[in-house]
Structure 1
């Protein structure tokens, strides 16, 4: 640091410094005494005399972190900035992010399914029930950010019809041992609890981190459906409730070690144990038609599930950080076991004869094993150009053993029509190349990715084997331009694939009740989409986005007539196409000093068509708002709310949905201790109401859940507050590549 002739150092030129949306920490690397420190005043800057030498302590400037931050192509939800999410599982936090819907435990963005979930910038390889269990049982306290990326580059897997959700766990960047402990208690209709914490230890070249959370909860859900033919003839109505009791133990452990000035190696282990006990209360089905009857079904099921994911990674970069190599190896193992019994009692109407009571039991096992390896190379030159290339291989092996038995007196007999063993194996070979460069005020990214897929599905019970293989090329590009200093426009495009979930391909039949079932479809094809998006932002605060997506072979859940009279089934099928248009505006408002309201307003149209002329088109309007209001005694009130009009979703049409969430937060002991109170769905309006008319079957449904829950979360931070020295570890690009 140099001085002027009067031996003074000028550290700031600006007479006014604002930190409304940043949190910054300044550490001076030489000893000095400040003679003037003015941040908001008329004097210019900070000055210090060099000849008066003392140790200057760390200067820390605290500011507000916005709940939502946005940049071209992505939106980030900062969980630590909102009390409204305290104590909630991640699945409920997703509902609070603009544009994301959670419908019957399925995640969609603007009415489109097909999302890849990453954890700490690495793909999770969880899907179906395994992914749902992770999102339901991971507490918000373990997560720092959730990032939604609409058009990823060719560096990422081509899978994910509407993009990527990147979940970033909490991890300290301070030297020494730091961490936090938290306890959450909640109550809706039943008590809920989450206990856990996370710890990080950084010393010289070693970084060790881990977290562990134990949660337990009971929930109530109700479902009501009415089914009829296109001619108006009632088939049946059904009402049932689900009482769910679950426990979850989730854990993570990892380390990174700096081998030398150029390379870093590390390992991460993520795992969970989820023993669930699900009790379905009495389900009443009123069958219409020539032989009307009431069917009362009691069903109890016990589920055990465990997931373990292992990652090894290595990073190398040269002295000037112009060349970098990265390598990752991932292994995922998941086991799912289900034991259930189902007792159906038939009651006549008009004294007509009915079948005898039916008692079924189901024992099933599903295993998923994933092995993946990839290597990436990056080279930069002239400080404004870079090329990226890489290869990847992945292998998935799944096995499902489904055994149905029916009771005949005191004897159990296997039902061969409902019992099935199914194995599915898939391998994907991929390679990509990507270019990034700056030409004047333009920034350009262009890439191409090739993926060869081969898979085999084998129903060992039906003696039926399905093989498939295909090669596809997936281009992507992005161009952006900054003009007049504060204005940026960009245009992005990507071609993407969404492969069927493994369980969707299994031709098993899962019995809901004597007149309702769900089956897999071994003939299901992947869907492909062209995604085009244009964005404009002003000062990184005001955002306008326009998008268009064309999807072919759209994967959608449909209903079908069963082989027996009055029986209705559900399955997944490929529809012809979907065209989707969307427009969104995101802007912060400042009604008063220190009060910011982040407003999101959007509209989209999904038009879904099938080969036989079926069309389901709907214009949808959605809006949401997040705000933090400072109250006396250093208390902050956080509010979050959303409203969405009717929406097309596959072959069904969803009715409007809306909810308001709120929370209070207060810090003690110099911000080491914090208390958060939250209420989800304050007015109990969150529900799923829908109707469909497809292939001669009309259906209306209403699903409600225990969505209104009051939670209290107490958390304590511990450890040193000494800043870590700033050094390159070789993993910066990996951590910020989203």
Structure 2
């Protein structure tokens, strides 16, 4: 009898040891406020270790844990670590409370921190809080420090892949290049927790944009009160530019208010030079330009936490740009003997006034205590511009005498108005064994363009009806998506599918273009975590690149009587299939990627040898293949010296579908960058920086690009407990950031050499004031994709 009883006890003990159970709970602070994004580590008796983070409701989950004894640790910045032991023999729910760490930061010696670069299932994370480069700078400058990201002429792109969309807290910043740069310069790096590079966005994001997304995540702190900053900058390039602005936030009980304002005023002197080799002549074209801009912008928002499970929000942001330019375009025409034949001269001035208005209403509703959540966004966006360009033309013999009757004056005008309305709903459904999310979106776009061209006769401008037009464009899109996520021990799996149905109607004076199409955009991610240092991942995704609205506008912008640029109302979207295999080992990361572009569009400078007319127009003509090997490593060479290094090698192969260009063009390219940040004193208040990058010759589409490189230097000091930040930076010290390329159209070779006044000396001042622990609310508009295409 005792032998049988012993056998039964042993048998059920073995069964119990093989059983698997779930562990979950909620984490709060001493005031019973939920704590999101708390790191949770659980260790088992067999030396297995698992990690997770609490969700937006402070919930943590561990699924299918074997029965046994465990140690669980909760950790977060500004809170004391909590270590508890427990025995797991059934599904268990345990809530914990963390105590705030009352010690000031300079009294705490931090010996452990997250890796500077982390590989997530669908993105790469640059942990800003662990980088010396984040001290005393702004969001735009900080982006240039992230491996694989380039910032050229204030435009953000991915190395080897082109321009990329930028978000803050999953909220797209839908501004033009200049306006986006001004906005990012107003965001202090002190408020940034991490930067996420999403080369293959999951299905919950719009399928728009072949090259992915960059998401800037702000710090999430809970104290109430005021917080703000003011910033001023003076920049000397060829001419002087000033900028300034500030932001202010206030949170009390259920209300959070936020606002910012920025303004920039000044001018730059871009220089563009080209050679066109006609069969019987060579044209040397030099465009000397001075651009003046005044760019004010602002934003205001309010969030109301009506209950623990309901958040309501409303925001408005707007801005305008006053632009005018003074230009001189001189064209020297040489004969076959390379002797000067004639000179064409054009003086011009352009005036552009544009403005945008955007409003967002937002609801986030928690459906239960397990993390299920519904969010709804309603958005309105309006953009308007009014363009006028006056120019004249005159021709001269080689001896300098004016050719009779060659002088003429012209005027090009354009008015454009874009209205955009979107409604978006998303639901997140985390379950014990998997996570599911789904959503839907409606967007309605109306774009009206009124174009006219005039010629002066007896000082009176008369319209040329053959070059005037009214263009009305309407685009409606309906989208739905579903996304599935599951974790199995060391493996993470995520799969998604997005469907978008689009209807287009473009009407001009002489023609109408109607089109409708339905497309599916699948995504797939697989991650294997070998150990704490090694992570392998594989992902695939399909994307669409709809044309920016300005490229659909048939307005002609004349440089002189022979040269103009125009849009194409019949431009179609392009598609990209992307696949990437990557590996992260501690401080080293490498990835191998491939992408295929179909129906790609780009600007082509069509040249007619018979008339010498050069017409730049966007067309769909490219099928492209891109292969890239990327490597990055972060080194702490010696104490006080942090070095981030990036090397990319890529191969591009492009094939043309139009007879005017080369049939195909292939070639290798490479890019190297190194960022070195120096800390000169123990309190980290005197900093130096040296950064350098080199772009090797490469092909881009059907263009051949020459090499270019850049050297930046900087020194910064932080005063008054780091509330005041002063910096002096020198950009493009060697004046080598020149864009030089060549192309072949209609067997006519074109060479370009452009420089955009990028050698600059800048002095910046920033003052941060108020409570440093204001919570940044997370808000997501619903019209990210459509608004971005306004750029």
Deviations 1:186-245 (A, max 9, x none): 21221111111111111222211111112112111111000114xx54341100111011
Shift of 1:149: 1.6
SS of 2:516 mapped into structure 1: strand
| C-alpha distance in structure 2 between counterparts of 1:149 and 1:277, whole Å | 37
TM-score (norm 2): 0.79
Residue 162 (1) aligns with residue 214 (2): no
Residue in 1 aligned with 2:293? 246
Distance 1:432 1:200, change over 3 A: same
Choose 268-277 or 421-430, whichever is displaced more: 268-277
Determine if contact 1:66/1:81 at 8 Å carries over to the other structure: no
Residue aligning to 1:500: 547
Match status 1:410 vs 2:459: yes
SS at match of 1:134: helix
Match for residue 658 of structure 1?
A: 709
What is the rounded CA distance, in whole Å, between the counterparts of 1:473 and 1:646 in structure 2?
36
Shift of 1:59: 3.7
In the alignment, which residue of structure 2 is the partner of 1:677?
A: 728
Which residue does the alignment assign to 2:230? 181
Q: Work out the CA distance in 1 between the residues paired with 2:115 and 2:536.
A: 23
Quickly say closer, same or farther: Cα 1:110–1:88, change in 2 above 3 A.
same
Contact in 1 for aligned 2:155/2:163 (Cα 8 Å): no
Range moving further from structure 2, 167-176 or 442-451: 167-176
TM-score by length of 1: 0.85
Measure, in 1, the Cα distance between the counterparts of 2:768 and 2:214.
28
Kindly indicate whether the alpha-carbon contact (under 8 Å) linking 2:362 and 2:781 is maintained by their aligned counterparts in 1.
Answer: no
Match for residue 9 of structure 1?
none
Alignment partner for residue 471 of structure 2, among 422, 430, 445?
422
Q: Partner of 1:575 in structure 2? A: 621
Q: Please, which of 757, 767, 771 is the counterpart of residue 720 of structure 1?
A: 771
- Cα distance change of structure 1 residues 68 and 491 upon mapping to structure 2, 3 Å threshold: same
Q: Cα–Cα, structure 1 residues 170 and 420, in superposed 2: closer, same or farther, change >3 Å?
A: farther
1:496-575 aligned within 5 A: 496-539=543-586, 541-562=587-608, 565-575=611-621
SS of residue in 2 equivalent to 1:417: helix
Secondary structure (helix, strand or coil) at the match of 1:154 reads coil
Q: For residues 239 and 693 of structure 2, what CA distance do their matches in structure 1 show?
A: 26
**What CA deviation, in whole Å up to 9, does each residue of 1:575-598 have, x standing for no partner?**
241000001111111221232101
- After superposition, where does 1:255-334 map in structure 2 within 5 Å? 255-280=302-327, 282-288=328-334, 292-334=341-383
- For the residue of structure 2 that corresponds to 1:138, the secondary structure is helix
Q: Indicate the residue corresponding to 2:663 in structure 1.
A: 614
- 1:376 and 2:423 equivalent? no
Structure 2 residue corresponding to 1:468, chosen from 512, 515, 531: 515
Between the aligned partners of 1:203 and 1:137, the Cα distance in structure 2 is: 29
Counterpart among 727, 750, 753 of residue 702 in structure 1: 753
Structure 2 unmatched ranges of 5 or more:
1-26, 28-40, 43-74, 83-99, 783-791
Counterparts of 1:248 and 1:380 in 2: how far apart (Å)? 44
* Match in the other structure for 2:187: 142
Contact 1:311 1:331 in 2 (8 A): yes
Cα distance per residue 1:60-82 (max 9 Å; x no partner): 34879999745343354959967
107-116 vs 689-698, greater mean Cα deviation:
107-116
Residues 182 and 262 in structure 2, CA contact (< 8 A), matched pair in contact too: no
| Pair 1:380–1:77, CA change in 2 (3 A) | closer
Q: 1:667 to 1:642 in 2, by over 3 A?
A: same
Q: Summarize the Cα distance change of 1:66–1:660 in structure 2 as closer, same or farther, 3 Å threshold.
A: farther
Distance 1:120 1:731, change over 3 A: closer
The answer (yes or no) to whether the contact 1:84–1:663 under 8 Å persists in 2 is: no
- Report the CA distance between 1:535 and its aligned residue: 1.2
Counterpart of 2:172 in structure 1 is 123
Structure 2 match to 1:364: 414
Structure 1 residue 616: deviation in Å?
1.6
Determine the C-alpha separation between the residues in 2 that align with 1:552 and 1:93.
33
How has the CA–CA distance of structure 1 residues 79 and 367 changed in structure 2, closer, same or farther, with 3 Å as cutoff? farther
Number of matched residues? 678
Aligned equivalent of 1:644: 695
The answer for the alignment partner of 1:38 in structure 2 is none
- Residue in 2 that maps onto 1:50: none
What is the rounded CA distance, in whole Å, between the counterparts of 1:227 and 1:79 in structure 2?
A: 51
Structure 1 residues 644, 578: closer, same or farther in 2, change over 3 A?
same
Compute the displacement of 1:183 (Å): 1.3
Residue 721 (structure 1) shift: 4.5
Matches within 5 A, 1:433-448: 433-448=482-497
